[in-house]
Chain A
Amino acid sequence: MNSQIIKPYGDSWGDGQVQLSFTLPLPAGPRAQEAAKRLAAQMGLDNVQVVHMKDLHGFTYFILYGSCRHSVDVSAIPELEAEEQPMDFEEINAFIQARIGRKLVVVGACTGTDAHTVGLDAIMNMKGYKGEYGLERYPMIEAVNLGSQVPNEVLLQKAVEVKADAVLVSQVVTQRDVHIQNLTQLVEMAEAEGLRPRLIMVVGGPRIDRALAAELGFDAGFGVGTTARDVAGFLAKEMARRLEGEVK
C-alpha cells in the first residue's frame, strides 16, 4: 500500500469512515431515510448507515456514517510555503525596531453595516484574546480602533490622516455575501484614490481565509482562531519586505 494515498481513518487503515449530519425537507420515515442514503451514496459513501433520524415537523435531521470511496494522493499536492516558527510578542517588537525603525501604524474597523466588534477587539484591544496581547499593547505598533459600522470612506480618510501603514477590516456578518461587496468596494476605493500601493490591507472574520482575501485584492486574510500575534507578525514581515524591496 502506498502510504501517500490516504482515506479518512476511523479505527483502521483505509476504512474511509466518515460521519455527517444534515437535514432534508421531508417528514421522517422510510422514504426520508432512503433519500438520505441515496444522497450519501452520491457523495461517495459506501455502506451508509443512518444512525439517527429525527422528525423536525416536515423536516428530518440525520446522522450518518459511511465509507468514503475516494482517496487523495498527498504526494500530488504541491509544496506549500514552509510553515516557519511564528515570532512572539517580544520578537515582533524587536523585529519592527530593527527592520523598520519606527512604529507601525495600523487602523482597524468593522466596516459597512457590520456591528460585530468581537473579532476586531480580540485582535486590537489591549487585552487581546487567548492569552495573546492585542495590537494596542505592542510598543512598536500604533493601533487605532475605529469600532463598528464604519463606512469604507471613513476608514480610508482615517488611514490617510494618521499615515497608516496598514488597515485591518473585520467582517463578521456574511449573510447574502454582504461582506464580499463591501470588501470589494474598499479595495476599489483604495485603488481609485491611489492609496492601495502604500497600504497593507488585511481582512479578518469567521468566513475569511487566505484564498478569499487574495481573490478580493487583500494582502492577507485571517480566519477563526487568529490572535494578534499572527496579525502583528504578518504586518511586521510584510512591511519589512516592502521597505527592503524599495531599497533595491
Chain B
Amino acid sequence: MGNQQLTLDLEKVARARELARSIALQVQQEIDQNTTVSIERTVARLFGIDGTNANGVPLPNVVVDQVAEAGQLQRGIAYWLANGAAALGKAPQQVAEACAQGLDLCSLGVQDPNRVAEIMETYTSQALQAIKEQRRVREEAVARLGMGPRPLKYVIVASGNIFEDVKQAQSAARHGADIIAVIRTTAQSLLDYVPYGTTTEGFGGTYATQANFKLMRQALDEVSEEVGRYIQLVNYCSGLCMPEIAAMGALERLDMMLNDAMYGILFRDINMDRTFADQYFSRMINAYAGIVINTGEDNYLTTADAFEQAHTVLASNFINEQLGLQAGLRNWQLGLGHAFELDPNTPNGLLYEIAMAQTIRQIFPEAPLKYMPPTKHMTGDIFLGHVQNAMFNLVSVLTGQSIHLLGMLTEAIHTPHLSDRILSIENAQYVMDNARDLGGEISFRPDGIIQKRSAEILDQTVEFLGDIAAKGLKRAISEGWFADIKRPVAGGKGSDGVISKGLDYVNPIMEEMRRELGSNSAGKGEER
C-alpha cells in the first residue's frame, strides 16, 4: 500500500472527481424528493418491528403496505407508528401486531404532537444505540484479535442451507480465509420483502434473513477466537430491500455489504428512482454502523469488454465514491470494485491488468479496494483456471489491493466444493506470501506499456465523466453507457414503491444519522 509506481496526472484526477461530484449532486437532488416502501420498512424495523402475520408476511410490510394503500405514506411510517403507539399506549411492535389483526393505523385519532415526537425520539435513540453497541463490539474484537494481512482473502459460501454454510465458513476461516460472504439465493434481489427466520432451502445461495445473519455471525465469532483473527461477514445490500438489509446487518454486526449505487438498475432492472433513494439510506446506515461497502463495477466487465470498457469501471468508481461520501460513508468504508477480466489471450494482458489495478489503487489511496477474480474467461480447464487465478493473486498483492475475492478453479462448473475453496486459499497464500513486498521494489518505465495504458484509461475516464455530467446519469444509463446494458429512465421493477415525500414527511432515523454523520442534503419534500 502507498506505493506510487505510476505517475498520474493529478489535475486530471481532480477534474474527474469534480465531475463525479457534480453528477452525484444531480442525482442527490432527486433522491431527496422521494421515499420508498423499503425505506419506510427499514424505519419500521429499526423501531423494533419484527416477525410476521399469520400468512407469513413480515410485519414491516404489513404496516407499510397498509399506510401506502391508505395513500398516507408520504408522511413517513415513523409518524404513523408513533401516532399509533401514542393512541394505544403500546410499543410499535404491538401496534404492528394489532395491524396484523385488522387495526387501521391511519384511522386512529391525531395524537398530541409532542407525545408523538417524544415516541419517535425514544425509538430512534434505541435503534441507534443498538447499532452503536454492535459497532463497539466489532471495534473491540478487531483491536483484540487483529485481522489478516491485506489483501484480505474473501471467500463465498452458497449451499442454500445456513447450517451447512456455517460449517463451510468455519472450515474456510480455519484454512486462512479472512472474509466470508454468504451468497444470496437467486431471485432474492427481486423480492419486495425480507424473508423471516432461519432457512435451509435456496437456489445458488442462502436467503438473507436476520436470523441467518445472527447465526453466521455467532459462528464466525467462535472461529475468530479459535484462529486468533477477526473474521468478517459479508452480505448483499442490493435489490428491492437495500436499506432493510442494511438495518439487519447493522443490528447483527455484519462487517461488509455489497452495496452499489447502480448495480440494481443495470443487472436487475430495478427502477432508477427506487434504486437511487434506497442506496442512499442503505449507505447511510452502513456508514453509521461502521460497515465497509463493496461496489459492483466488476460486474460491468462480465457483459462488456474489459479492455475497451476499463474507463467505465474507473468512472463508476468515482461516481460511487461521491454518492457514498454524500451518504456519510468515509473513505475507509469505500470498497470500490474492479476486476481481473481481460481475455487471457490478450498479449501483455498481465501488464494491462497491473496498469488498471495500480491506477485505481493510487487514485483511491484510502479506499479498501475490492478486487474480483476472473470469471468470464474461466473454462472447464481447471488447471489453466488455477493458473489464471495465480496471475490474479499476483497482481492483487503487487498493487496493494485490500479485499481480495478468491477465484475458484471450478468457477465455470459448479458452486465450490470444499476442496476447491481450500485449493484457492492455498494458491493465494502461496503467491501473496512469495511476492509480499514486490510492489515496493518496482517502478514502471515512464514510456512503458503500463504507464501509457494508465494514462489512456484516465484520459478516457475524464472524457466519459464529462459526457455523463452533460447528459445526466439517468440518461447515460438509459443509453447503455455502462456494461452495454440499456435501462429506461421510468421503467424497471419496484417503481410503484417510490413515493414523493410530503411537506410533513418525517424520517427521524435518517435525520439523526445524518446529523451525527455530518452528511449534507435535505430530507423534506421540496418547498414549492
Contact = CB atoms under 8 A, between A and B. Distances in A.
Interface of A: 21-23, 54, 56-57, 59, 61, 113-118, 121, 125-127, 147-149, 173, 175-176, 178, 206, 224-225
A23 B419 contact: yes
Interface string B381-415: 00000000000000000000000000000001101
A224 B412 contact: yes
Given A115-B187, A127-B484, A224-B380, A206 B303 contact: no
A229 B417 CA distance: 33
Interface string B289-308: 00000000000001111000
15 contacts: A23-B418, A23-B419, A54-B422, A56-B175, A57-B174, A59-B171, A61-B422, A118-B303, A118-B375, A148-B268, A149-B187, A149-B190, A175-B160, A175-B203, A175-B204
A23 B417 contact: yes
A206 B361 CA distance: 35
Given A113-B187, A115-B187, A149-B190, A126 B484 contact: yes
B376 interface: yes
Contacts of B304: 127
Interface of B: 160, 171, 174-175, 186-187, 189-190, 202-204, 267-269, 302-305, 375-376, 379-380, 412-413, 415, 417-419, 422-423, 484
Contacts of A225: 379-380
A173 B412 contact: no
Nearest to B202: A175
Contacts of A147: 269
B343 to A, nearest CB: 8
A126 B412 CA distance: 22
Contacts of B422: 54, 56, 61
Contacts, number: 69
A56 B175 CA distance: 8
Nearest 5 interchain pairs by C-beta: A113-B187, A173-B204, A61-B419, A23-B419, A113-B186
B491 to A, nearest CB: 12
Contacts of B415: 175
Nearest to A224: B380
A147 B267 CA distance: 9
Contacts of B202: 175
B203 A178 contact: yes
A127 B204 CA distance: 27
A178 B241 CA distance: 24
Q: Which of B175, B376, B380, B419 has the most CB of A within 10 A?
A: B419
Contact of B303 (A22, A114, A125, A178): A125
Contact of A173 (B186, B417, B484): B186
Nearest to A121: B303
